[in-house]
Amino acid sequence: MGEPIKLDAPFDRETARSLNVGQPVLLSGTVLTARDAAHKRLCELIDQGRQDELPVDLCDQVIYFVGPTPPRPGRVIGAAGPTTSSRMDTYTPKLLAVGLRATIGKGYRNLAVRQALEEYGAVHFSAIGGAGALLAQCIKASTILAYDDLGTEAIRQLKVENLPLIVAYDAHGNSVYPCEPQP
């Protein structure tokens, strides 16, 4: 796989298009968190034509599909392992259309998401499932930005340092998975 690429987030379409499937990445900078419930709320606003009311600017942002556990005393965050990406497949194309540049999760993405990644110049990274405690060590700060009532599923801004990822789906229609599930 080669040496990991050091990448800062957020990043633009040109940067996303420079990434290729299978490349290891060490991501630093700021990323957002969101899972099912937050995705649903964001897409409801988009569907109602109220995109200007989104609680966060998604342009060139990275969303990590994670619902971190509460932190232990002295820690920034609890375990922060990736959620199954396919749970967000219904919502992802709409978020990519408004400028989202990348997502992070685990597992397959459906055909509509893969086509949207290519159309909008975005990528999907895979993080190591089952390694939430290890991945949490890469998170240096966590701030709730929106939907506090959702608890662990609130939208957060994380400051990450060298978060280890793999480009699982690139902006050119390629997948790291040798056998995609059938629709």
> Which tokens belong to 128?
């190591």
> Among this protein's residues, is 124 annotated catalytic?
no
Residue 44 near residue 12, CB atoms below 8 Å: no
Residue 110 near residue 89, CB atoms below 8 Å: yes
Spatial distance between the Cα atoms of 101 and 63, rounded to a whole number of angstroms: 8
Q: 182: exposed, middle or buried (C-beta count within 10 Å: 0-12, 13-18, 19+)?
A: exposed
Catalytic residue, candidates 39, 94, 101, 106: 39
Round to the nearest angstrom and report the end-to-end CA distance of the chain: 29
Buried b (16+ CB within 10 A) or exposed e, 35-51: bbbbbebbbebbeeeee
With residues binned 3-state (H G I as helix, E B as strand, rest as coil), the percentages for the chain, rounded to 5, are 30, 30, 45
Which residues form the catalytic set?
Answer: 39
